[in-house]
Amino acid sequence: MSIPQSLLEQSILINIQQALQEDIGEGDLTALLTPEDEQATATIITREDMILAGQPWVNALLKAYDPTVQITWLKNDGDLVKANETIYKLAGSARSLLTVERPALNFVQTLSAVATKTANYVKQLEGLNTKLLDTRKTLPGLRIAQKYAVAIGGGQNHRLGLFDAFLIKENHIMAAGGIVQAIAKAHQIAPSKPVEVEVETWDELNQALEAKADIVMLDNFSQQQMIDAVKHVAGRCKLEASGNITIENLREVASTGVDYISMGVLTKDVKAVDLSMRFNA
């Protein structure tokens, strides 16, 4: 999946409106200590190695709050930025720079953390055909932003939400009366949408194949079971591995020949990158 441009732009707008409202509210009291007409320049650096992500959010934030502030990017999204290197510079109203500092850094530190983590995981798959996918286990309100960051880090996006693909799990199967019935109904409801089904047994895998699922998720299959499943399916559908996968066993799982590995840890368990904004003397 890829994020439609219109959805990306809409999400950025919503994100920055919420960020400004929650931080500024009725006004930045501390910024009032600075003379209204004072101008300043500032430098934003990282204190640790990172893959940069978040440029569109910072640009939109500045445009929304004070379009007279000038921003100069020294790095681009997807670039490896080393510790103590400058990411971007700002010039404009000192009050504005002080006010937008935290919301801007919040976006960059969070999205760069996702991109950096994703890149580290993707590195484990070098030389293999398996693709790394994200999940819907994202921070509330930052679904599209985090999936954007996963793509920047070299991963791929699973479905963006409940609207763009079917993912039939145990409860769906029970409610629909079985795997075959669930897949058949999905093809009927939205013929153009991908249909994925989660299976836990060999019998369920065969049912999914019979019903012509596009993707089958092998939930907590053992290493040998995944190897056998890849041989058995023989390209009749795509196979995705999920469950109990870590960076330590990621390459081992990929070596089974599965097409995809999905990991919620890319977005739900991230540590923000350490950034700093310094006013220039």
Please identify every residue annotated as catalytic: 102, 137, 169, 198, 219
Question: Residues with Cβ < 8 Å from 89, sequence gap 6 or more?
Answer: 41, 42, 43, 44, 71, 72, 74
Contact by Cβ (8 Å): 64, 9? no
Distance (Å, whole) CA 175 – CA 59: 46
Contact by Cβ (8 Å): 145, 107? yes
Backbone angles phi, psi at 193, to 5 degrees: -90, 140
Q: What is the DSSP string of 26-72?
A: T--TGGGGS-TT-EEEEEEEESS-EE---HHHHHHHHHHH-TT-EEE
The DSSP bridge partners found for residue 167 are 196
